[in-house]
Amino acid sequence: MPLLVGGVIVAVLGLLGLLVWWQSFVVLLKGALPIMLLLGGGLAMYVGYDDIQEQLREDKKKQDEKLDRAREELEQIRAKAERYREELERLKDESCKSRENNS
């Protein structure tokens, strides 16, 4: 209850002060507005720059993951090609041996 009464008293004093010193309040507001705009704009630029940097990091990470997957696929293809080449060599040798035996 005392907190409620104190709040009402302070609100009434604030309203009276605003009415009495209205011109001073407007001058203060006029002076503070450009500073608030500058600070707000600076904060927005910083957040935007940080967001762009984060997107670039994510894009680089995705590209690195794609590159790793491509390298893995390339290694698998190379291994298959090597197996096919070995199989081809084996079949050639078998073919040559069978021709020699038939002759």
Per-residue pLDDT tens for 31-48?
A: 999 999 999 999 999 999
pTM, rounded to two decimals: 0.54
DSSP string, 26-89: HHHHHHHHHHHHHHHHHHHHHHHHHHHHHHHHHHHHHHHHHHHHHHHHHHHHHHHHHHHHHHHH
pLDDT of amino acid 103: 63
Give me the mean pLDDT over the 75-98 stretch: 90
Task: Compute φ and ψ for 21, nearest 5 degrees.
Answer: -105, 40
pLDDT of amino acid 22: 93
**Position 19: which residue type?**
L
d(CA 25, CA 12): 17
Q: Sketch the domain layout of the chain as residue ranges.
A: 65-103
pLDDT of amino acid 20: 94
Whether 100 shows a pLDDT value over 90: the answer reads: no
